[in-house]
Amino acid sequence: MALRTNPSLGTDLDTVIPPGGMWLDVNSNVSPQYGDVSFDGSGYKRVWATNAAELASGAKIAIDDSGNATASDSGTFTVPAEAPAGSSFWAKASAI
């Protein structure tokens, strides 16, 4: 399990929220916006992303400025777990 460095971000960084799933807001905390950045306990950059097509766990992805993830052999991020189309997740940078 990847830890998060900012406790206001909600669930752990390896959680994939399926389409129609809910972000677990706490009163006075704001849900992340697609493209927001965090860092895990090991120093890896994480980007809050969404996907239009299903992505396999560990798949290489590219992320645009709006947080849209697409499969890409030259992608510099990976998917933390299988992500059905329309999911939300913290993509993990391939290197620190």
β-bridge pairing 60-63 and 37-39: unpaired
pLDDT in tens, 1-51: 555 555 455 678 898 988 877 666 555 555 788 999 988 889 999 999 999
pLDDT given for residue 21 in this prediction: 75
Partner residues linked to 70 by β-bridges: 62
Partner residues linked to 78 by β-bridges: 60, 92
CA distance 50 to 66: 9
pTM (2 d.p.): 0.83
Structure tokens at 38: 């965090």
